Structure 1
């Protein structure tokens, strides 16, 4: 059963801080938001329990671990029926180099974010895996040359305090 959750200023501040530094200690977090440690921890646990906070992740430096090529790939499917879409999604979930998959509107059906070691690896991935998905009609690759913003922090709405959970 869905119910309304009010996010007050302190909850929003907690979410902003945790997005920029998930390794912050509860003691430091409590200092930054102006509460004592016990109620701070209680608020974080509540946000986790209500799935406002889904998970915590380490952001890796792609260059340092040998992943030098990042692309977006726009995919058109041969059909738009439920079976074709399911076939495509199941295949995509088996390819580790595809790190994002979005069903989109417009001239493409899906947009993928793909990461690979180098151009040769990327080319092999496209030829041997993505092009082999039976329901793929066409694809267009967009190689990312430079990234000027890569924020994982979501803006927390201030006007609308009500979140359906």
Structure 2
């Protein structure tokens, strides 16, 4: 498990005085400020983030040493990470996305389906993008109790019961 968890991203400048547009990926969006200082992905930069006010799709925020629109725009696309130790413990049935990526996924019969490539959420439920075993194809598996009854982080595996039609026809023909 990684000791850094993605909590947000810098979307660019907000105005002309060095304010930033920040997107929060936290369950309580305002909590991103409480996890400061934040890091970029390779830990080469640290950011002391201060939220100024909510704006459409995020927050206007300040970071010391960012004084101009150009400075703020230079940070566009930077992903923000918090130390795992700063984040709250999760209940048994909740997981940080970072902990799911890379886990092997087996069907209920023990056959390897693939590995979790990414976890996405486009507004409804979370989706696990699976890199299918021995293939270049990926499929999206709903991350629900029905489709994913077991997540065993200690063993590094997920047991899935994919709905019909999720897997390519050659996979579902085994049933």
TM-score by length of 1: 0.30
Q: Select the structure that is richer in strand.
A: 2
Q: Which has the higher contact order (CA 8 A, sep 6+)?
A: 1
Q: Which has the larger radius of gyration?
A: 1
